[in-house]
Amino acid sequence: MIAATISVLALLTAGVAWLVVSRDSGPEPRTVHLVVEAGTQDRVNAGEKVVMMPSYMELRVGDTLFIENKDAVPQWVGPYLVGPGNSFSFTYGSPGRFAGFCPLADGQTYEIVVKE
C-alpha cells in the first residue's frame, strides 16, 4: 500500500511538473515575411514612396524575420541588405530594441522590439 501511494504521488508530481513546464513555454516561434517585389527600384526612381519595413515590429525571442528580394538590384530593408533574387533570415535570440531608418523608404524610421 505504501509503495502504491508513493508511486501515485510520484506520477502526480511528474504530471504537475510537466504542466508547469508546458504552460511556461510560451507561444511557438513565428516567421515574419517581408517581400521586395520586382520593379520596386523602378518605382522608387520614378518618385513613388515605397514602404518596405513597418515602422514598428514587436517580436519574441525565437521569432525569425525573413526578407525576400524579388527586385533586380540589391535592396536595404531596415538594417538588412538583400541581394537581387536572394533572401535573408535572422532569428532573434535575445531581447532587445533595434532602431534606425530604411534607405529604401526614403529614410523612414523603424523600430524592432524583441521581447522574452
User: The domain spanning residue 89 has which CATH number?
Assistant: 2.60.40.420
pTM of the predicted structure, to 2 decimals = 0.72
* Element counts in the chain: helices (H) and strands (E): 2, 8
Assess if residue 5 is contained within a domain.
no
Assess if residue 33 is contained within a domain.
yes
Q: What is the pLDDT of residue 104?
A: 67
What grid cell was written down for 41?
A: 527600384
Q: How many domains does the chain have?
A: 1
Assess if residue 66 is contained within a domain.
yes
Q: What is the pLDDT of residue 1?
A: 52
Supply the range of the domain harboring residue 38: 28-115
Rounded distance between C-alpha atoms, residue 33 and residue 21, angstroms? 30
- Which parts of the chain sit beneath pLDDT 70? 1-25, 104-107
